[in-house]
Structure 1
């Protein structure tokens, strides 16, 4: 299936297991540049597993998405892995206090 995600930049939260992990794997299979985060120490193991299964490099970060500081750190790190802006994320604005996303033209 081609979802036209090749080269897109994707941030997947709660990605150390379950639905978040499955979502990240599928984005990686589709050729997206992936950043994953979770509070769990399993996040690095999950990144290695996705890289091994898909051949896609994965940025893994430990973060708590209820923390504004962690959210900004994760978003900035995600933007830094590519030459373009963040294309999509599964962060839910009703549950997570999202800052304005940084862009290549200027930060927050």
Structure 2
């Protein structure tokens, strides 16, 4: 797993931008307005996301339209899936243990 993705997403404004782009492409101005930052700041954050490979840009006349790239998020999901499986096994084991304790407690009260 490339740590560049985590570094790019660690900054709150960039994470907010990614959340906005989940719903579709936006221009730099639209992003700046919705995040509540100035356009030069939005451009700097978008440059980091672009260099990390998380977004792509389409130039239309004098506008830059940004959209999310699927591949890095699919890679992140696959990486996280290994941890989901591990935690699911642990939660299942905890559930079995708690059920056993409850059954023992119920038997001791009878």
Same-fold call, TM > 0.5?
A: no
Q: TM-score, normalised by structure 1?
A: 0.29
Q: TM-score, normalised by structure 2?
A: 0.29
Bigger radius of gyration: 2
In proportion to residue count, which structure has more helix?
2
